[in-house]
Amino acid sequence: MSYRNVHRPAISRSPRGLARSHRRMLSQQHKRHVKRATFRDCGRRCVYCGTFLGLDIATLDHVHPLSRGGDDAPGNLVAACQPCNQLKGSLLPIDFFAKYPWAGANFMRYARAVHRTLKRGARRAVSLHYARAA
Ligand SMILES: [Zn+2]
């Protein structure tokens, strides 16, 4: 027997179907969870300057900025300190690492959970910079 025509209500996977208050709570919880996991994956450091951070002063940075078409995927999130986050602003990772190769070097070392495309880009930008300097 085929179950194709049996009506099954779709289970809502997104918080869209939930009440507004619940939705906000859920997303805040989710955010906290994501922040903590990212923080842990980055070794409790700022991935750009390498200084140790407390969870309270760490900020989440989108490696590929949201304003340039990046997303909220875990592979695009790293922990960063406030000054580095501000320094990076909405620069693309390639431009940022080309400008500040020390940030790229630390990024390769500490941003372990980041997407490998981003890592590859960082490596390329840093090595390009040093090739040009030599
Ligand atoms: Zn930093």
Contacts of 59 (CB under 8 A, 6+ apart): 79, 80, 81, 82, 85
Percent of the chain with pLDDT over 70: 81
What is the rounded distance in angstroms from the CA atom of residue 105 to the CA atom of residue 49? 9
| pLDDT of 25 above 80 | no
User: What is the CA(45)–ligand 1 centre distance, in A?
Assistant: 8
H or E stretch at 27: helix 20-41
Residues with CB in 5 Å of ion ligand 1: 46, 48-49, 81, 84
User: What is the CA(69)–ligand 1 centre distance, in A?
Assistant: 23
User: What is the CA(88)–ligand 1 centre distance, in A?
Assistant: 10
Structure tokens at 31: 């955010």
User: What is the CA(103)–ligand 1 centre distance, in A?
Assistant: 8
What is the rounded distance in angstroms from the CA atom of residue 70 to the CA atom of residue 12? 25
Q: What confidence category does residue 96 fall into, taking pLDDT thresholds of 50, 70 and 90? A: very high
